[in-house]
Amino acid sequence: MKIGVVLGTNDPETAWNAFRFAVKALDSEHAVRVFLLGPGVECESIRQGAYDVPAQAHAFAERGGELLACGTCLRARRMEGSDLCPVSTMQDLVDLTAWADHVLTF
């Protein structure tokens, strides 16, 4: 199955669970793409207690998951893309949505 995940929050527990889900889906042999939107683009710096979001994001990428970050949302926060979270566009989100059998939002 092809699963699209849209992460639109910087809440540590929610972002951590979104990536945990994405990692588990990859481990279960599903294709997964994650699109970071709004505060979700901050995922590389979200750490709180047991919720190490960057570690889960890296685990996702290491398993071959595709991660995209909204360029407009990055610029609004004076951030840039990275190797982990490359700059993407709304067209990439449209393409992800068309590609996926299911889309989940967190």
Whether 49 shows a pLDDT value over 90: the answer reads yes
Let me know: does 85 contact 67? Beta carbons within 8 Å: yes
Tell me the CATH architecture of domain 8-105.
3-Layer(aba) Sandwich (3.40)
- Supply the pLDDT for residue 103: 98
Task: Give CA–CA dist 50/23, Å, rounded.
Answer: 17
Task: Give CA–CA dist 11/80, Å, rounded.
Answer: 20
Whether 85 shows a pLDDT value over 90: the answer reads no
What's the whole-number average pLDDT of the chain?
97
Whether 11 shows a pLDDT value over 90: the answer reads yes
Q: The pTM is what?
A: 0.94
- Supply the pLDDT for residue 42: 96
- Supply the pLDDT for residue 84: 87
First to last CA, the chain: 19
Domain edges within the chain: 8-105
For 25-43, what is each residue's pLDDT tens digit? 999 999 999 999 999 999 9
Classify strands 2-7 and 102-105 as parallel, antiparallel or unpaired.
parallel
The closest alpha carbon to 4, from 102, 79, 80, belongs to 102
pLDDT cut 90: percent of the chain above it? 95
pLDDT category of residue 17 using cuts at 50, 70 and 90: very high
